[in-house]
Amino acid sequence: MGYEPLVQQNPLRVLNMSRENNQLGLVMARAGLGKTALLVQIALDAILRGKNVIHVSIGETIDKTKKWYDDILSTILQGHSVTRPHELVDMVAQHRMIMTFKVAAFTRSRLEERLNDLVLQDIFRPNCLIVDGFNFDQTDREALEDLKNLMETMDMQAWFSAICHRGDDRVSPTGVPAPCHEVDDLFDMIILLKPEHDATIQLDIIRNSGELVTDGKGLRLDPTTMMIKEM
């Protein structure tokens, strides 16, 4: 296949995260640190493992979302020689579907309806759902539980992104910042991104496969691709 380099530097492979179905993951960071880029890496990792990914973008356009994939793929392809680059690009396109929703239009029932449209007609069977732009500030616990429930019934893994705000110091006992400090127990995997002085991004794992991670296992990532920075 020749896609090895992609795998070697993908943070999820290295950390051995994001393997099982039915798990819920969360990527948290302040605005502009690369949440979407990391979500795209998570999606690419799943696609390379033969999974189908639905990328839900709330409040974004299809073109912009697709561009994230195109940009990150082309950066990766520039840095590594892959024997048949267009096959990789095609493969990603075939195993990924983008769904964009207006902020107000995103509800569990809407999502379920859309997913069923795909599954019942056998158009696309997703294994992994990426949800970017979900508004945790205005969501109650019940709505999230409802979504978690849906993921379980459909036997899917899901990854959410959340923005933490500068100046909001609320934090859960396990160290998960607001606005997710009261719902952190619903997630099996939680990642926190922080900027570092040398223009890299520090990835900290707060929880992995439901277990609290305390040994401070972290990684340094390249901010453009969210791949592991070669030291």
Partner 1 sequence: MKKDLTKVRNIGISAHIDSGKTTLTERILFFTQRIHAIHEVRGKDGVGATMDSMDLERERGITIQSAATYCTWKDYDVNIIDTPGHVDFTIEVERALRVLDGAVLILCSVGGVQSQSITVNRQMTRYKVPRIAFVNKCDRTGANPFRVTQQLRDKLDLNAIMLQLPIGLESDLQGMIDLVSMKAIYFEGDQGNEMRQTEIPPELKEEAEAKREELLDAVSMFSDELMEAMLEEGEIPEAMIHDAIRKGTLSLELTPVMIGSAYKNKGIQLLLDAVTSYLPCPTDIENTALDLNQNESEVVVSNDPADPLVALAFKLEDGRYGQLTYIRTYQGVIQKGDTIINSRTGKKAKIGRLVRMHANEMEEIDSAGAGDIVALFGIDCASGDTFCSPGLNWSMSSMHVPAPVISLAINPVDNKAQINMSKALNRFTKEDPTFKTYVDHETNETIISGMGELHLEVYIERMKREYKAEVEVGAPQVAYRETITQRAGFDYTHKKQTGGSGQYGRVAGFIEPLPEGEYEFVDQIVGGVIPREYIPSCDKGFQKSLEKGTLTGAPITGVRVAINDGSFHAVDSSDIAFQVAAIGAFKQGYAKAAPVIMEPIMKVAVEGPSEFQGSVMGSLNQRRGVIIGTFEEGNYTVVEAEMPLAEMFGYSTTLRSLTQGKAEFTMEFATYKQVPKGVADELIKAFATQKKDA
81 binds partner 1 per the rule CB under 8 A: no
Q: Which of 98, 162, 183, 189 binds partner 1 (CB under 8 A)?
A: 98
Contacting range for partner 1; rule: CB under 8 A; set: 17-25, 60-68, 199-207, 212-220? 60-68
Size of the site for partner 1 (CB under 8 A): 25
118 binds partner 1 per the rule CB under 8 A: yes
Is the CB of 87 or the CB of 168 nearer to partner 1? 87
Q: Is the peptide bond before 179 cis (omega within 30 degrees of 0)?
A: yes
Q: Which of 1, 4, 62, 214 binds partner 1 (CB under 8 A)?
A: 62
Is the CB of 8 or the CB of 107 nearer to partner 1? 107
Binding site for partner 1 (CB under 8 A): 55, 61-62, 65-66, 90, 93-94, 97-102, 104-105, 110, 114, 116-118, 120-121, 123-124
